[in-house]
Amino acid sequence: MKFYTSIPKELKPYFNTELEKYSAENISGNLRNVWIHLERAHIIGQKYPFAHTFVHWKMLQFGFKIKSRKEVFGQVPILIFGGIKSFVGKTPIGNPSGANIPPLKSFPIEKELQDILTNARV
């Protein structure tokens, strides 16, 4: 069994870019784009426990910001267990991980993100 830890250096710039875009959109109040960038960061980092957990922390904070009980209560168990599943390589591929998404369901990955993951060989 392979154990995953930190996000690889080949993916880190893409992950950081999504978090920077998330922050910029959050400051400007464009809530739809905030969520899009959190989902993209999640897909890029979901195999790696620290990155995965960090994105869920941001999703939880966003749930509080938009006063969504569903998102807050949906993110808490994922925040607790998501990093563990990443560590042992048991995350559903492409899952954007909002509270309205089945937590164990895999999803197709949009071409741009798939190219990033493929080119980084992860």
Which residue in 41, 33, 37, 35 sits closest to 15, CA to CA? 41
Distance CA 29, CA 90 (A): 34
Per-residue pLDDT tens digits for 42-101: 999 988 888 988 999 999 999 999 999 999 998 988 887 766 676 666 677 777 777 787
Q: What share of the chain is helix, strand, coil (3-state, %, to 5)?
A: 65, 0, 35
Per-residue pLDDT tens digits for 26-49: 999 999 999 999 999 999 998 888
pTM over 0.85? The answer is yes
